[in-house]
């Protein structure tokens, strides 16, 4: 009887070890993988974008702090999974050096990569917007060379009927990021 319990315990232990999440290439559609799977940057497609980049647009200086996060938990309404992703935090300062927006310490206001297009050196990113989601949309980073990125930001519209009811807290609903295409950011 003792041997049977030992064998069952050992079998259970081995089954837990083998339940490791399945790993898939980075651009695998999350709809096509089991829950708690992992889309991994197997070919290091994200690494060339990592760093600090700056650009001036309409008198404001925008600094992007791009890092790579491995095994980032992503919870969607239909599925939970892990992914490698670029994460961007940023600061925007006016021409006098006054900070207009700084997301470096705000864990909720960051944007992250959702797809790469390696043949074109482009990373597509999702930006959740600022206060109450204002400015959410897509950002595309195109790697020009080792020190420059081209930036394209396409915000979606968000309209409030009554800001007090629909956007509690910080009422600043201005989009400070450069809403433009082809803006060149230079690595610092």
Distance CA 62, CA 99 (A): 10
Domain hosting 35: range is: 2-187
Instruction: Output the pLDDT for position 85.
Output: 95
User: How far is residue 113's CA from residue 134's CA, in Å, rounded to a whole number?
Assistant: 19
**Tokens encoding 170:** 């910080």
Q: How many CB atoms lie within 10 A of CB 14?
A: 10
What is the structure's pLDDT at 68? 96
Structurally, how many domains does the chain consist of?
Answer: 1
DSSP 30-47: GGGS-TT-EEE-TT--SG
Residue 85 has φ and ψ, to the nearest 5°, of -155, 155
Q: Cα separation of 130 and 183, whole Å? A: 21
26 closest CA partner among 78, 80, 88, 71? 71
Which residues, 6+ apart, have CB-to-CB distance to 88 below 8 Å? 64, 65, 66, 110, 111, 112, 125, 139
pLDDT in tens, the chain (188 residues): 566 655 555 444 444 444 556 999 999 988 899 999 999 999 999 999 999 999 999 999 999 999 999 999 998 888 999 999 999 999 999 999 999 999 888 766 678 999 999 999 999 999 988 777 788 899 999 999 999 999 999 998 655 545 455 666 666 778 899 999 999 999 99
CATH of the domain at 108: 2.40.128
Cα 114 from Cα 83, distance rounded (Å): 9
């Amino acid at each position: 009887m003792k041997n049977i319990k030992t064998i069952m315990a050992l079998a259970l232990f081995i089954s837990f070890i083998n339940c490791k999440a399945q790993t898939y290439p980075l651009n695998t559609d999350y709809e096509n993988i089991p829950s708690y799977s992992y889309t991994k940057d197997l070919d290091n497609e994200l690494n060339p974008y990592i760093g600090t980049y700056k650009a001036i647009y309409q008198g404001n200086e925008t600094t992007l702090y791009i890092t790579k996060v491995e095994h980032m938990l992503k919870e969607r309404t239909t599925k939970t999974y892990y992914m490698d992703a670029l994460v961007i935090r940023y600061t925007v300062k006016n021409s006098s050096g006054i900070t207009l927006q700084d997301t470096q310490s705000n864990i909720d206001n960051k944007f992250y990569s959702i797809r790469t297009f390696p043949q074109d050196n482009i990373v597509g990113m999702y930006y959740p917007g600022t206060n109450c989601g204002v400015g959410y949309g897509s950002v595309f980073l195109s790697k020009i060379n080792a020190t420059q990125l081209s930036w394209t930001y396409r915000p979606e519209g968000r309209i409030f009927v009554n800001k007090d009811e629909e956007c509690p807290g910080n009422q600043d609903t201005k989009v400070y990021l450069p809403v433009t295409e082809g803006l060149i950011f230079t690595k610092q």
